[in-house]
């Protein structure tokens, strides 16, 4: 069984493919309608590019590619969730593509379980827990585990 990192609280829910995911609201700075994403040459595939956010270069990652899936098609329903996270003791800002953003939800501790481990799931280390809300499962991401290495790689490429 995986270690449970998710806690009760408010989460921003969003869609990746056919699945519902969530990140803690406290890590979300803003949700943007899809801005112009500029590709960075020789960047890793899951780094879709960079955006100009409040005068700063912010890397934009595609979590579907990061988790071994197909790329998100950027269209008028795509959003960029701008996240603040810690990496090596520093605050960094990363944009994360989402097929669409749903809503802010309250998740009780009793609704959160550790993600099951079955072999070596590629995204397993990025999952903080799984919550059951209504009749659906919501995968709670550990964004710092999923994107921390990407933030510094993108900052190096963008500067």
Q: What is the pLDDT of residues 10-55, one digit of tens each?
A: 999 999 999 999 999 999 999 998 778 999 999 888 899 999 999 9
| Residue 2 in domain | no
71 assigned to some structural domain: yes
- What residues make up the domain containing 26? 9-158
Domain-located, residue 1: no
Residues in the chain with pLDDT values less than 50: 1-3, 121-123, 151-159
The C-alpha angle with vertex 68 and arms to 136 and 29, in degrees rounded to 5, equals: 65
- Res 90: pLDDT: 85
Q: What's residue 151's pLDDT? A: 44
Number of domains in the chain: 1
Per-position DSSP letters for 59-86, written without gaps between them: EEE-HHHHTTSPPPP-STT-EEEEEEEE
Within a domain: 107: yes
Q: 3-state class of 155 per DSSP?
A: helix
- What CATH number corresponds to the domain at position 16? 2.40.50.180
Contact 63, 51 (CB under 8 A): no
Check residue 26 and give its pLDDT.
95
Is the residue at 144 inside a domain?
yes
Q: Kindly report the CA angle at 91 between 151 and 76, in degrees rounded to 5?
A: 55
> Is residue 17 domain-resident?
yes
Residue 3, in any domain of the structure: no
**91 contacts 84 by C-beta, under 8 angstroms:** yes
Residue 4 lies in a domain: no
Helix locations, the chain, DSSP H: 63-66, 143-158
The residues with which 106 forms a beta bridge, in sequence order, are 10
Q: Give the number of other CB atoms < 10 A from CB of residue 30.
A: 13
């Amino acid at each position: 069984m995986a270690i449970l990192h998710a806690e009760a609280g408010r989460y921003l829910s969003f869609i990746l493919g056919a699945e519902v995911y969530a990140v803690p609201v406290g890590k979300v700075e803003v949700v943007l309608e899809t801005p112009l994403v500029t590709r960075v040459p020789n960047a890793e595939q899951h780094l879709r590019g960079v955006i100009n956010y409040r005068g700063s270069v912010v890397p934009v990652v595609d979590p579907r590619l990061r988790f071994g899936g197909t790329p998100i098609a950027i269209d008028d329903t795509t959003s960029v969730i701008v996240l603040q996270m810690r990496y090596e003791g520093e605050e960094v800002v990363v944009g994360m593509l989402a097929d669409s953003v749903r809503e802010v939800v309250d998740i009780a501790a009793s609704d959160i379980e550790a993600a099951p481990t079955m072999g070596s799931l590629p995204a397993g280390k990025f999952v903080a827990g799984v919550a059951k809300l209504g009749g659906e499962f919501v995968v709670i991401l550990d964004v710092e585990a999923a994107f921390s290495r990407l933030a510094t790689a993108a900052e190096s490429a963008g500067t």
